[in-house]
Amino acid sequence: MKQELKYLLYLPQGYDKNADRAWPLVLFLHGSGERGADLGVVKKHGPPKLVSQGKHFPFILVSPQCPADQSWDPTTLNGLLDDVQAKYHVDPDRVYLTGLSMGGFGAWDLARSYPHKFAAIAPICGGGDPQFVKNIAHIPAWVFHGEDDPVVPIRRSEEMVDALKKAGDREVKFTHYPKVGHDSWVKAYDDPELYQWLLSHKREHTGKEGEK
């Protein structure tokens, strides 16, 4: 069933709809606990929470909400990104992807489904199918996980990181937090270095941007 996604939108200070300047964009995918029809709950964690607390980012932030009892659908998310990029001044070479828990799984899935859309990805306490990482071995990845995660075992991230390295990914970072459980996203998203790292990358052009 096709999802119709509502989303929170943050526009950076200095954004001018009438100007020609193109801005970086970060797509944030929340976890299973924030699904539903109340966009306010998307502000519970991650970058939307920081924005609600007064944090300013130098990028457009798009935070969709997954409908209740569903999971992230790559085709729908890609359509949402296309729609946002048509409406706002987005630099297509500086589109970034991150998510936590269910959103971490969603980030891996979206990246491998549309491997030439993103300049860098940062999945947090998620996982995926290691056999598909060859599709995204050109994308810089920074992966986060708590060592004591009782919900999604850290092994799920380790498998993806190991597979990326074997596939020849030139830039893979893995931060595992000792004595941290499932909420590793708190430390990850509170770290300014994460955003600096994302924004330091531009999409690699391989001549395959239209592939899915």
The per-residue pLDDT of the chain, averaged, comes to 94
pTM of the predicted structure, to 2 decimals = 0.94
Share of the chain above pLDDT 90, in %: 91
Q: What is the pLDDT of residue 206?
A: 58
**6-14+22-199: which CATH architecture?**
3-Layer(aba) Sandwich (3.40)
Q: What is the mean pLDDT of residues 59-74?
A: 97
Beta-carbon contacts of residue 96 (< 8 Å; ≥ 6 apart): 24, 25, 26, 27, 59, 118, 119, 120, 121, 122, 198, 199, 201
Could you tell me how many residues make up the chain?
Answer: 212
- The domain spans of the chain are 6-14+22-199
Count of C-beta atoms within a 10 Å radius of residue 11 = 15
Distance CA 51, CA 209 (A): 31
Q: What is the mean pLDDT of residues 76-88?
A: 96
Under DSSP, the state recorded for 100 is E
Under DSSP, the state recorded for 32 is G
Q: What is the pLDDT of residue 14?
A: 93
pLDDT one-digit tens code per residue, 113-146? 999 999 999 999 999 999 999 999 999 999 999 9
